[in-house]
Amino acid sequence: MQSVIRTHLESVSSHSCYATELSFINSSTRRRSPPEWIMKTFCSVWLLLSLVELRPALPVSQETPLACRGPADPALQQPETPEEMDTTGDLEPTHYPARRAATVALHYLNTRHGSPYRVFGLQQVHKASAEDVAAGGRKYSLDFSVTTSPSGSAGPALRCSAEVLFPRTEQHTPPDVQLNCEALQQLNSTAEDEAFYQKYITPDSAVSAQYLPDSYGNMSEDMQPFWRLARVAASFIMLRESSENTEFNMAQVASITQQESSEKQLMLDYVVLLHDLPSQEIIQWKLLASWSPDSGVRVLQMEWQPRCPHATKPPN
Partner 1 sequence: MKGSVMSLLVALALVAQDRLAGGQEHRSYDYTKYHTMDEISAWMNQMERENPDVVSSMIYGQTHENRNLTLLKIGFTRSTPKKAVWMDCGIHAREWISPAFCQHFVKEILGSYQTDPKVSMLFKNLDFYVTPVLNMDGYIYSWKDNTTRLWRKSRSPGTGNCTCIGTDLNRNFYANWGTVGISRNCCSAVYNGPTPLSEPEAKAVNDFLGAHQNQLLCYLTIHSYGQQILIPYGHPNISAPNYNDLMEVGLAAANAIKAVHGKSYKVGTPPDVLYALSGSSSDFARLIGIPYTFTVELRDEGHYSFLLPEDQIQPTCEEAYQGAMSIINYIHDKNFRGSASTVTATLWTTLVASWISSANVF
Residues 269-308 that bind partner 1 (CB under 8 A): 273, 275, 277-282, 308
User: Minimum distance between the CB of residue 229 and partner 1, rounded to whole angstroms?
Assistant: 15
Tell me whether residue 2 or residue 88 sits nearer to partner 1 (CB atom): 2
Binding mask 214-253 for partner 1 (x = CB under 8 A): xxxxxx-----------------------------xxxx-
Answer yes or no whether residue 187 interacts with partner 1 by CB under 8 A: no
Comparing CB distances to partner 1, the nearer of 29 and 316 is 29
Footprint of partner 1 on residues 127-186 (CB under 8 A)?
Answer: 149, 152-153
Closest CA to 189 of 161, 225, 223, 216: 225
Q: How many other CB atoms are found less than 10 A from the CB of residue 291?
A: 25
Answer for the pair 71, 172: CB distance below 8 angstroms, yes or no: yes
Q: Which stretch binds partner 1 (CB under 8 A): 155-163, 195-203, 206-214, 257-265?
A: 206-214
Q: How far is the CB of 79 from partner 1 (least distance, A)?
A: 4
Cβ-in-10-Å burial (0-12, 13-18, 19+) of 287 comes to buried
| DSSP state at residue 203 | T
Q: Is 203 an interacting residue with respect to partner 1 (CB under 8 A)?
A: no
- Give the separation between CA 249 and CA 175, rounded to whole angstroms: 16
Give the residue, chosen from 122, 201, 209, 223, that forms a contact with partner 1 under the rule CB under 8 A. Answer: 122
Query: Which of 176, 165, 178, 169 is closest to 131 using CA atoms?
Result: 165
Of the candidates 152, 150, 129, 155, the one whose C-alpha atom is nearest the C-alpha of residue 140 is 129
- At closest approach, how far in Å is the CB of 208 from partner 1? 15
> Does 82 interact with partner 1 (rule: CB under 8 A)?
yes
3 state DSSP class of 218: coil
The nearest distance, CB 182 to partner 1, in angstroms, is 21
14-53 positions binding partner 1, by CB under 8 A? 21-22, 24-25, 28-29, 32, 37, 40-41, 44, 48, 51-52
Nearest approach, Cβ of residue 198 and partner 1 (Å): 27
Burial annotation 224-262 (CB, 10 A radius, 16+ → b, else e): bbbbbbbbbbbbbbbbbbbbbbbbbebbbbbbbebeebe
Q: Interface with partner 1 includes 73 (CB under 8 A)?
A: no
* 92: three-class secondary structure by DSSP: coil
